[in-house]
Amino acid sequence: METLTAQKQEMKIPVTRVSKSKISEIDFTKLQFGKITSDHMFISSFKEGHWQNPEILPYGDISLAPTALCFHYGQTIFEGMKAFRMQDGNISIFRMEKHFERINKSLDRMCMAMLDEELFYNSIKQLVALDQQWTPTQEGSALYIRPFMIATEERFGVKESDEYLFIVITGPVSPLFNKPIKIKVETDYVRAAKGGTGYAKCGGNYGAAFYPTKIARQQGYNAVLWTDSIYNKFIEESGTMNMLFIINNTVVTPPLSDSILEGITRDSVLRIARDIGLGVEERDISVEEVVESIENGKMTEAFVAGTAAVLNPVELISAYGKDHLLPTLHDNALVYKLKKKIENIRTGVEKDIYNWNTVITQL
Ligand SMILES: *Cc1c(COP(=O)(O)O)cnc(C)c1O
């Protein structure tokens, strides 16, 4: 396991503390997803070719010029990660290295300033350590960590920015869903095309997905299941989550491509599935195959995987205007088994054999 002092180079970040914590106003038994922010935030600016003035400050507004490029040409990217309260009281941050790799892939695609390990690890670890009482103890809850970057150069001509802000905020959350969801296979609109930005966590991908998602919600579904941009025939992923199926007792999921976001939850589930002896197939899966295998009973489970949702069962898939109901799940369903394994590793109930946790020692 990595520890706060052992890993990477230490960096001293100046801290301005809040005069009074707002934590006593928060009901940790009634958390929603994405409403509450912790006391502090991290901020650093990129100017003249390097990162400068790293600081931890009270969470609060930032001031930007109306010409800041992020408002005009979409250079914004983010990450979403979680920290968990372990059974010994310490805090584990899940798979920081994977998130570091991915944020730089997104930055590279969007021509934004890259982050170095020192800045990424230290900003997040020191912020989580400072606001550690904000990591919930309730089962299933977590401290959500949102690192993001925006273009700040003041200029309204179209160009890639030479200046950026990197900010990290956190907030306690419960899982995104609390019951099985209904999803609609989308065959009219696309989220991402070959050669596009689908693999990057850039703001524009989400703005473009709202409209079809709004229609699906109005029709009674929780999310859309995107299909490929050329034939609208092969399953890609769902909203902010990757899609997995259990067909003939094998875990089946679409292979990664430049139009699918490389989910870290997806990667973790596949790793665990292989190691507990389940078959895993990363292959093209058509909408037709999904429908057929629900109807002939070969598909016993379908679920989404993402940091916000963790693993969440899908109870119904709508395709070409027709609803297809999945079997009711029993307590021994694979989705629950896989989810429990991940949760056990994160909370220290099971040994972290993959070195996924960065542990912050409780003060
Ligand atoms: C973040 C995200 C996911 C899930 O990735 P995780 O690393 O598991 O959180 C899947 N799809 C999209 C489009 C996403 O933005």
Tens-digit pLDDT profile for residues 149-208: 999 999 999 999 999 999 999 999 998 899 999 999 999 999 999 999 999 999 999 999
Residue 341 confidence (pLDDT): 98
Q: Is 80 in the pocket of ligand 1 (CB under 6 A)?
A: yes
Q: Is 240 in the pocket of ligand 1 (CB under 6 A)?
A: yes
Q: Is the pLDDT assigned to residue 228 strictly greater than 80?
A: yes
Pocket test for ligand 1, best of 262, 307, 356 (most atoms within 8 A of CB): 307
Q: Is the pLDDT assigned to residue 325 strictly greater than 90?
A: yes
Return the axis-axis angle of helices 96-109 and 117-130, rounded to nearest 10°.
130
Give percent above pLDDT 90 in the chain.
95
Q: Is the pLDDT assigned to residue 71 strictly greater than 90?
A: yes
Q: Is 56 in the pocket of ligand 1 (CB under 6 A)?
A: no
Pocket test for ligand 1, best of 94, 240, 243, 356 (most atoms within 8 A of CB): 240
Contact 93, 360 (CB under 8 A): yes
State the residue for tokens 């009270």: 58
Q: What is the mean pLDDT of the chain?
A: 96
Q: Is 307 in the pocket of ligand 1 (CB under 6 A)?
A: yes
Q: Is the pLDDT assigned to residue 86 strictly greater than 50?
A: yes
Residue partners of 20: CB distance under 8 A and separation at least 6: none
pTM to 2 decimal places: 0.96
Mean pLDDT to the nearest integer, 284-306: 98
The number of the ligand 1 atom at minimal distance from the alpha carbon of 264 is 7
66: phi > 0 → left, psi -120 to 50 → alpha, else beta; which? alpha
Residue 8 confidence (pLDDT): 61
Tens-digit pLDDT profile for residues 96-132: 999 999 999 999 999 999 999 999 999 999 999 999 9
* 1-10, 66-75, 280-289: least confident range: 1-10
Q: Is 213 in the pocket of ligand 1 (CB under 6 A)?
A: no
Q: Is the pLDDT assigned to residue 2 strictly greater than 50?
A: no
Q: Which residue has the higher pLDDT, 175 or 63?
A: 63
Residue 363 confidence (pLDDT): 81
Confidence of residue 214 (pLDDT cuts 50, 70, 90): very high
Distance CA 211, CA 217 (A): 10
Q: Is 309 in the pocket of ligand 1 (CB under 6 A)?
A: no
Mean pLDDT to the nearest integer, 217-221: 98
Q: Is the pLDDT assigned to residue 33 strictly greater than 80?
A: yes
Residue 10 confidence (pLDDT): 82
Q: Is the pLDDT assigned to residue 7 strictly greater than 60?
A: no
Q: Is the pLDDT assigned to residue 42 strictly greater than 90?
A: yes
Q: Is 306 in the pocket of ligand 1 (CB under 6 A)?
A: yes
Give the DSSP letter of residue 239.
T
- Provide the token pair at 315: 């109870």
Confidence of residue 362 (pLDDT cuts 50, 70, 90): confident
